[in-house]
Structure 1
């Protein structure tokens, strides 16, 4: 099964190049600004203000609401808004190689790994406890709770995947356990309504191959199938009906190869290679704005899709030969298709083979074969 994350890029080519589009504030450029937009993909290394070391072959990318993390070896660079410290000082060197990155609305995580195991570092907004360091607005009332530099989290479990929603975090471990922390108002922690300021274990006795979240619900793939919890008021929980809040994991009756949790919708890559969507909004379906049943995205049939991605109001799919397709609302040019929205999937014009992509709320970064 595929083991990539919506908010991570695991590059496999020996040499890669980054393409970016959308709001440039969170792209690795020294002159990014809120009013500067790329509505089509740009080779970032060709920009005069490229802000990463030119020798760096980026191996991890994570994108959030308005910031990004990029890593190579044990180095992490951050770009974008930083009002809550979500950039962690913009550049950090860690004692071990970076294994995973994750970004939420205003919080960030870095997971490093050595032969002894993994270490989680967290920084940014912590109002709901989403950093897992034991603080929150409840424990520290009247103060802006945030961490402006990476803080080690005391978590003695080997981390295999980590994802962020807007204000929560979910972790899968090698010990076949799932933990969550942060905001819980919509059940997105999978353990009721109570916020958690430290990693809190779900009652979920399954090994997890992959997690996905970008807003206020979570999808988790296990050898026994796909599961969901959190907000499903638009039917994005793939239960065939609207459920306001799913407070503990529910199984989804589909044979799944890959998947992505958007805002009010989900994207599913079935084992037969067909792509389905469910929920409301960026469904990729002509004349259909909401569906409570997984519905075939006909525009991706026969495209040999191998990965799917989603963010708040748009989604993407990657084919076997490296073609990228996007659809949804095109705020800030985030579809990479020029100035217009795309109701159904359209191919993004990139003159390289796309290996992976990370979708932020208003920007995207693709890793391509050089």
Structure 2
């Protein structure tokens, strides 16, 4: 066979194959019965609450399982956008708290998670998230956890099951309360903030000490503790009948006990709240605000920037005083006490701020001696959405947050490590909507990161 005939035959075969291929494609396009069908089953998730985190990730506080190589090389890892946390897909989170470089989660205990109810992630230099060790013979205590690990709470009997419903974190200590009223404290106790005796030169790294307090003891006069608030190095307990007990560092009077000494045993706070029913307490630094059932606010602790007393040079208040000047703002329904500022929310959904910092009034205002209202339009209220209003507020040391009736989160203030969730690290001078892709129910602000408990839109 000549070379010319071979070439013509090869060309003929190639053209026929191409024609068959084109014909086949046309048939497939015209006949839907020939399509391959893939039955894609989405992964089911039974948890109601979803957890979003953002800010400093290098400490492990975000619990996103970042590789340990990043930490060893000293590379700063920052999440500027809110990211959905895998931990929240596995466990039903009841409550959460953001400390100084660490986070704690209270979850629904069940057989699948071996009935653990408290998990922690992030810095653990003071055993503020329990005792965790390396595997193997060395068994060295872990100073940093990159993903939430269970915290072993002491039990009185083998079959005892705890269900933590409230949790709060300070600079390096954690306090948890179970639905049965049992209290657990762990971490640094240098000032008595863990409600146990101060031990000189106590070593907290690798400590197994988790202090248990049963409310049946006389320490709380047999009253039931229903909530807890941790300041920087102090702790305040709230009873079911609205009384407050405190312990810890009191150099600025933040325990409200009438002195400036360390307090290692919780004691009853009196002053102007003696005959009041307190429903909420807020404290991120050394200033404390307390709200009663009538919508009145009381304050004590540090007032260096007039966050408690107005027109006064007094900077330390060691007993609660009634903040009468807030009565002009109407009935108060929520409070937030930061490092050097105070914030309240009235029943009309108006937010008032005063003190020092980036308060939400633009770059030219960093100090406000008297409470001033932030324009409601900045939180989404306008002529098309007249009913929109702020329903809750919170804060960190340097940043502020508000959630409106549409479950949108607004944040402003210092944006250290992207802790405002705005997609950048620039300071924010007025409230701006954070980029959380869900309905925000609760926001927890740490010193360099944030945690949000959310529901999905659908």
TM-score normalized with structure 2 length: 0.72
Deviates more, 1:180-189 or 1:234-243: 234-243
1:56 to 91, 94, 97: 91
Q: Paired residue for 2:65?
A: 30
Aligned residues: 345
Q: Residue 417 of structure 2: SS of its match in structure 1?
A: helix
Q: Determine which structure has greater relative contact order: mean sequence separation of CA pairs < 8 Å that are 6+ residues apart, divided by chain length.
A: 1
Q: Paired residue for 1:300?
A: 379
Is 1:143 the equivalent of 2:229? no
**Residue 259 to residue 195, structure 1, CA distance change in 2 (3 Å):** same
Q: Paired residue for 1:3?
A: none
> How far apart are the structure 1 equivalents of 2:338 and 2:66?
29
Superposed displacement of residue 14, structure 1:
6.9
Q: Answer 1 or 2: which has greater strand percent.
A: 1
Is 1:365 the equivalent of 2:365? no
Q: Answer 1 or 2: which has greater helix percent.
A: 2
> How far apart are the structure 2 equivalents of 1:16 and 1:72?
10
Whether the 8 Å CA contact 2:49–2:455 is kept in 1: the answer is yes
Superposed CA deviations along residues 137-183 of structure 1, whole A, max 9, x for unmatched, are xxx32333685442202543311221011100001102432100000
**Residue 331 to residue 220, structure 1, CA distance change in 2 (3 Å):** same
**Residue 238 to residue 315, structure 1, CA distance change in 2 (3 Å):** farther
Q: Paired residue for 1:66?
A: 101
> How far apart are the structure 2 equivalents of 1:198 and 1:21?
36
> How far apart are the structure 1 equivalents of 2:225 and 2:417?
34
Whether the 8 Å CA contact 1:84–1:148 is kept in 2: the answer is no
Whether the 8 Å CA contact 1:240–1:293 is kept in 2: the answer is no
> How far apart are the structure 2 equivalents of 1:367 and 1:250?
33
> How far apart are the structure 2 equivalents of 1:215 and 1:53?
28
Whether the 8 Å CA contact 1:276–1:296 is kept in 2: the answer is yes
Superposed CA deviations along residues 30-59 of structure 1, whole A, max 9, x for unmatched, are 2275721101111122xxxxxx37431211
Superposed CA deviations along residues 93-131 of structure 1, whole A, max 9, x for unmatched, are 5522112101000000110123xxx01000000000000
Which structure 1 residue ranges, 5 or more long, are not aligned? 1-12, 46-51
Q: Paired residue for 1:6?
A: none
Q: Paired residue for 1:236?
A: 307
**Residue 265 to residue 313, structure 1, CA distance change in 2 (3 Å):** same
> How far apart are the structure 2 equivalents of 1:341 and 1:170?
31
> How far apart are the structure 2 equivalents of 1:234 and 1:260?
15
> How far apart are the structure 2 equivalents of 1:300 and 1:237?
25
Whether the 8 Å CA contact 1:68–1:80 is kept in 2: the answer is yes
> How far apart are the structure 1 equivalents of 2:311 and 2:247?
28
Whether the 8 Å CA contact 2:228–2:235 is kept in 1: the answer is yes
**Residue 279 to residue 71, structure 1, CA distance change in 2 (3 Å):** same
> How far apart are the structure 2 equivalents of 1:355 and 1:322?
7
Superposed displacement of residue 319, structure 1:
0.6
Superposed CA deviations along residues 187-222 of structure 1, whole A, max 9, x for unmatched, are 000012121101111113221101111100111111
- Superposition pairs for residues 341-352 of structure 1, below 5 Å? 341-352=427-438
